[in-house]
Amino acid sequence: MSAIPDTSNSTDTSNSVQGRVVIVTGGGTGIGRAYAKHFAANGAIPVIAEINGQAGSSVAAEIKADGGRAFAVQTDVTDEESVAETIARAMEEFGRIDVLLNNAAIFSTINRSRFEDISREDWTKVLDVNVIGSWICSKLVVPHMEAGGYGRIINISSSTVPVGLPLLMHYVTSKAAVMGMTRCLATELGERGITCNAILPGMTESEVEYVGRTEASFGAVLGMQKLKRIEQADDLVGMALFLASPASGFMTGQSLLVDGGMAYS
Ligand SMILES: NC(=O)c1ccc[n+]([C@@H]2O[C@H](COP(=O)([O-])OP(=O)(O)OC[C@H]3O[C@@H](n4cnc5c(N)ncnc54)[C@H](O)[C@@H]3O)[C@@H](O)[C@H]2O)c1
């Protein structure tokens, strides 16, 4: 692979992700699958780090069938050894890691209930994947980003945070923590030339079935959105590409709503 210039401290305004190696956690289904496919279509190489090995491999196969490059490694983001192994394999294969998209989360399968009824077990599981998993992936990729001279960490939070959506307190709390983590990473990584920003998606449809979603919930969200259609996974791709590219190089610590104008930050 041709060398990629150091753009961490430059005035490069390109919005290209050509040749970038991008770890997409949870890239086997839903919005993560859309990120992986679109990054590949834009010339990047997604490393699909997905706990559902079969789903990850099938996204990689789809990308290859479309003429793109991709690499899938079954990964549990809560398991430091598993993440280290994925990173080692990506480094062996491509020799660099440019972007980390911390997308994996407990979401489509989450148990919704009033806050008094959330089990301790559900709290632990959600915080472990949504928060600690992002921390583990971030700390293990940073040395490789530094060595490669380019680094973008993109965290996925949620517009449920500014809204304070009911019945999902464990999830909303985890996504608020992701916003805090984004600022701390931005602060600690700034002098090392690595940026960290977060995307806050609205209520988004994908090929996945979301447990507990009702017609009424779509109606309520459409009522709040300025743009009157239901958000699709592809609506989130543009912001992710921008945050991964040199064009966003002087922007860090930000949490950006991409939700059809539902909430204000
Ligand atoms: N869909 C929405 O409306 C919406 C709204 C706001 C934010 N988000 C966020 O966007 C991201 C993607 O959401 P989605 O709608 O595709 O949800 P999803 O539940 O379909 O996708 C989550 C993915 O993460 C994977 N995963 C779960 N645990 C993992 C682990 N331990 N290690 C590795 N992979 C693991 C799952 O297998 C799945 O492929 C999540 O961070 C979610 O919180 C989604």
Residue 100 lies in a domain: yes
Candidate list 150, 171, 210, 264, residue with the active-site label: 171
CA distance 84 to 180: 24
Domain for residue 239, yes or no? yes
Q: What is the pLDDT of residues 158-198, one digit of tens each?
A: 999 999 999 999 999 999 999 999 999 999 999 999 999 99
- Distance between Cα 93 and ligand 1 center (Å): 26
How remote is the CA of residue 253 from the centroid of ligand 1, in Å? 22
- Output the 3-class SS for 177-218: HHHHHHHHHHHHHHHHCEEEEEEEECCEECCCCCCCCCHHHH
Measured over the CA atoms of residue 30, residue 35, residue 41 and residue 47, the dihedral's sign is negative
The answer to whether residue 264 is domain-embedded is no
φ/ψ (deg, to 5) at 47: -105, 110
Residue 265: per-residue pLDDT: 83
CA distances from 40 to 3, 48, 71, 199, 230 (A): 18, 11, 11, 20, 25
Element (H, E) at 48: strand 45-50
- The answer, as to whether pTM is greater than 0.95, is yes
Tell whether ligand 1 has an atom less than 6 A from the beta carbon of residue 26: yes
**pLDDT score of 1:** 44
CA pair distance 24, 199, nearest whole angstrom: 14
Q: Is 133 in the pocket of ligand 1 (CB under 6 A)?
A: yes
CA–centroid distance, 30 to ligand 1, in Å, is: 7
Quick check: is 191 in a domain?
yes
- Please state the domain count of the chain: 1
What band does 11 get if pLDDT is binned at 50, 70 and 90?
A: confident
Is there a domain that residue 51 lies in?
yes
Name the token pair of 229: 């259609």
2 inside domain:
no
150 assigned to active site:
no
In angstroms, rounded to a whole number, what is the distance separating the alpha carbons of residues 238 and 221?
22
218 is a domain residue: yes
In tens, the pLDDT along 135-145 reads 999 999 999 99
SS3 219: helix
Host domain of residue 56: 21-258
What's the gap in Å between 12 CA and the centre of ligand 1?
32
| Calpha distance 231→239 (Å, rounded) | 14
Atom 1 of ligand 1, residue of closest alpha carbon: 204
Tell me if 167 is assigned to some domain.
yes
We report the CATH number of the domain holding residue 109 as: 3.40.50.720
Is any ligand 1 atom within 6 A of the Cβ of residue 221? no
Q: 110-148: per-residue pLDDT in tens? A: 999 999 999 999 999 999 999 999 999 999 999 999 999
Q: Which two tokens stand for residue 127?
A: 């915080």
Residue of 204, 128, 210, 201 whose CA lies nearest to 167: 210
| Residue nearest to ligand 1 atom 25, measured at CA | 26
